[in-house]
Amino acid sequence: MMGTKVTYAEIAAKAKVSEATVSRVLNGDERVKADRAARVQKAVSDLGYTKNRIAAALASGRSGLIAIVIDDDLTLFSDPFWARVSTGVSRVLMENDLQTLLMVSPVTSIDSPVSHYLQAGEVDGAIFFQVHNEELVKKLRAQKMSVVVAGTPATGTKITYADTDNFGGAVLATRHLIEKGCKHLVTITGDIDASAGRQRLDGFKKAIAEANLTIAKNNVHFGDFTFESGRAAVAQLIKNKVKFDGIFAANDLMALGAIAELREREISVPEHVKIVGFDDSVMAQASVPPLTTIQQDIEGLGAAVAELMIAKLKGETPTPRILSTILIERETA
Amino acid sequence: MMGTKVTYAEIAAKAKVSEATVSRVLNGDERVKADRAARVQKAVSDLGYTKNRIAAALASGRSGLIAIVIDDDLTLFSDPFWARVSTGVSRVLMENDLQTLLMVSPVTSIDSPVSHYLQAGEVDGAIFFQVHNEELVKKLRAQKMSVVVAGTPATGTKITYADTDNFGGAVLATRHLIEKGCKHLVTITGDIDASAGRQRLDGFKKAIAEANLTIAKNNVHFGDFTFESGRAAVAQLIKNKVKFDGIFAANDLMALGAIAELREREISVPEHVKIVGFDDSVMAQASVPPLTTIQQDIEGLGAAVAELMIAKLKGETPTPRILSTILIERETA
DNA sequence: CTGAAAGCGCTTACAG
DNA sequence: CTGAAAGCGCTTACAG
């Protein structure tokens, strides 16, 4: 079975072909004659051979390694979201005989160890979960390394990316509130510097306009995706005497913060105020009352990113992928 | 600066030494004379050299790759817990010039692709986040591969591991309930097949015994770490007419489920029933009322696992590491 | 379609 | 302390 390392030499001897032929068969070269290919295949399985990818990498210049680069500054990875994206990435990559290298690094500045590592060319591609540093991405692309981003990069750049349809999801959420009879809608935005934050706000505005409603000055409250900011938003809204009967919170955590504050003031959800979140995190169904929210296909996003990477590795220039969302109706709206 | 690949040949020429010497200097061999070593160092930085780890791996037989193996059957990685452990692992490994390979695979049976891959010896070590398959671990260890487990393996095995002090944390939680005046305690256990589930139950029992209280037959309700099971537990308890004024739930999610059910029955928390969870997840502070819970050092656990791995790689036989927990008092107890 | 041969960029006994 | 040389296990023009 296993035991001592089996190499091409043994296979070649057993199959009575050259090592070059063994290599061809193992790499799916069609030109090898069927009978010889069969002999090689048999020898391979008889000997329980598994290829030494490191040797292959050195000889071919392709490592088969794809890095997932995560900037730990934002303790991003603590967010279950990214973990699930990674799961999707890893699964698809493995299916395609590629390995996932996990790089969690405090800073992805152009001079950080991670950057140097990436620039050293030991990985075939890099997947970024944020684009703090467009410079780095550009530099890597200039070095013909394949780069794919999960999320929407700044407009104008030609970076390949996949993202959830944040805009569409926000439209869905807002329309739902309107359908449920809300007349005075407000939104609590996420971090507006992040594309997801911006897009969700845009979607909200779109749905409002579509329904011929208007957005009063104080109806957009800028939050930052935290529970506290959701809570503060409601407090502020009330302090400002804003009249509202529906809230679209750009994520579940802020929605929960909003609910907590409403509850404290004995404003009942969904009777007095309806609310829709975004993410469909575990918390959404564990909340009281269970939260109506927008669900995204998180592992699917990871898979999409991996597929884009694979396409780029083949020399193709794939177009961005936008994954649609669905509304999960629970009890808050 | 960068550009064309710099190799030992260039460095050797520039520093006027042999390639062997370059290798020695770069690998910290003390025997090289200071002045020659200095010349090499200078050439290295002048040329902006970065080592080709793949070539080094092939020549030395050490890949510098450590796999984190995650069984995706349980969608384990969706749990932010493991993502954070991975963060800790990855950080420490990087600091030690090792890479983290992320392997999310549906099954880690002894015949799965992952197993084959690991057995092929392309990684220097493997970190398991669960030990479904003791066989695999044993086999790998027999092949002198370094294996470390995050979590507590079955007793009797000599597997190196690091884990949170689940037992101690449960004792802390239970004592707190007792100090707060609870007389009739119940616990909602986690999956009892998992070591964390068992240990947290044992800790509960220990604290009860310590206080000279007794555990009535129905006071231990077996859950499975889900929100629903927490909810069902309370429903069951009430149906069985069990008298209780304090609940230790083996994780936050079940605690939230319990709170939801209590609220529905208009039993107020913490006035009528006090409750303590375990994990200090994001949900704990976002719950209403905020959940008193046990906090563990999750990234620290990852770091500990990585440190154990590094020790094993050096040929040492480190002893298991148990990380202590603290109680975070909020409003439910 | 196939083989001999060179090469990928390091490491490491071995000899001195 | 240092160098020449062999070798790690593959891949890939090149020639036929």
Q: Tens digit of pLDDT for each residue in A201-233? A: 999 999 999 999 888 778 899 999 888 899 999
Q: Which residues of B spanning 52-111 put their CB closer than 7 angstroms to strand D? A: 55, 58-59
User: What pLDDT does B106 receive?
Assistant: 66
Smallest CA–CA distance, residue A238 to chain B, in Å, is: 20
pLDDT at A30 over 90: no
Average pLDDT score over residue span A266-276: 95
pLDDT at A266 over 50: yes
* For chain A, counts of helices (H) and of strands (E): 13, 12
- Residues with Cβ within 8 Å of B266's Cβ and at least 6 positions away in sequence, in order, are none
Across the strands, what pairs with A321? A162
By Cβ distance, the residue of A78, A102, A286 closest to B90 is: A102
User: What pLDDT does B324 receive?
Assistant: 97
Distance of A140 CA from D15 C1′ (whole Å): 38
- Residues with Cβ within 8 Å of A49's Cβ and at least 6 positions away in sequence, in order, are A6, A11, A43
Give me chain A's average pLDDT, please. 89
Q: Give the type of residue at B37.
A: A
0.75 surpassed by pTM: yes
d(CA A301, CA A321): 9
Please state whether beta strands B185-189 and A274-276 pair in parallel, antiparallel, or not at all (unpaired).
Answer: unpaired
Mutate to test the interface with A, among B73, B78, B97, B330 (most CBs of A within 10 A): B78
Average pLDDT score over residue span A328-333: 96
Secondary structure of residue B246 in the 3-state scheme: strand
Interchain CB contact of A285 with B (< 8 Å):
yes
CB-CB contact of A307 with A301 (8 Å): no
CB-CB contact of B232 with B319 (8 Å): no
User: What pLDDT does B161 receive?
Assistant: 93
User: What pLDDT does B2 receive?
Assistant: 42
Read off φ and ψ for residue B327, nearest 5 degrees: -95, 130
d(CA A147, CA A165): 21
B26 beta carbon < 7 A from strand C? Answer: yes
Distance of A29 CA from D14 C1′ (whole Å): 17
Give the confidence band of A76 by pLDDT, cuts at 50, 70, 90. Answer: very low
User: What pLDDT does A121 receive?
Assistant: 77
If we measure between CA atoms, which residue out of B295, B320, B300, B325 comes closest to residue B153?
B320
Protein-contacted bases of chain D (C-beta within 7 A) = 1-5, 7-13
Strand runs (DSSP E) across chain B, as ranges?
A: 65-71, 99-105, 125-128, 146-150, 160-164, 185-189, 220-222, 246-249, 274-276, 293-295, 321-323, 326-328
User: What pLDDT does A183 receive?
Assistant: 93
If we measure between CA atoms, which residue out of A139, A135, A151 comes closest to residue A68?
A151
Give the confidence band of A251 by pLDDT, cuts at 50, 70, 90. Answer: very high
pLDDT at A293 over 70: yes
Tokens representing A117?
């590592």
Q: Is B179 exposed, middle or buried (0-12, 13-18, 19+ CB in 10 A)?
A: exposed
pLDDT at A1 over 60: no
Chain B residues whose beta carbon lies within 8 Å of the beta carbon of residue A58: 52, 54-55, 58
> Between the CA of residue A50 and those of A12, A288, B35, B110, B114, what are the distances in Å?
14, 53, 45, 15, 12
In this complex, do A101 and B102 lie within 8 Å of one another by their Cβ atoms? yes
d(CA A55, CA A34): 26
pLDDT at A77 over 70: no
Give me chain B's average pLDDT, please. 89
User: What pLDDT does B107 receive?
Assistant: 59
User: What pLDDT does B76 receive?
Assistant: 47
If we measure between CA atoms, which residue out of A294, A100, A318, A113 comes closest to residue A203?
A294
d(CA A270, CA A81): 27
> Between the CA of residue A196 and those of A40, A67, A154, B61, what are the distances in Å?
52, 23, 11, 45
Protein-contacted bases of chain C (C-beta within 7 A) = 1-5, 7-13
Q: Tens digit of pLDDT for each residue in A100-151? A: 999 887 655 666 777 777 877 789 999 998 666 677 777 787 777 899 999 8
Interchain CB contact of B58 with A (< 8 Å):
yes
Across the strands, what pairs with B164? B323
CB-CB contact of A245 with A217 (8 Å): no
Please state whether beta strands B146-150 and A220-222 pair in parallel, antiparallel, or not at all (unpaired).
Answer: unpaired
d(CA B305, CA A237): 47
User: What pLDDT does A148 receive?
Assistant: 94
CB-CB contact of A142 with A159 (8 Å): no
Please identify every stretch of chain B with a pLDDT value under 50, giving residue numbers as ranges: 1-3, 76-77
Please state whether beta strands A321-323 and B146-150 pair in parallel, antiparallel, or not at all (unpaired).
Answer: unpaired
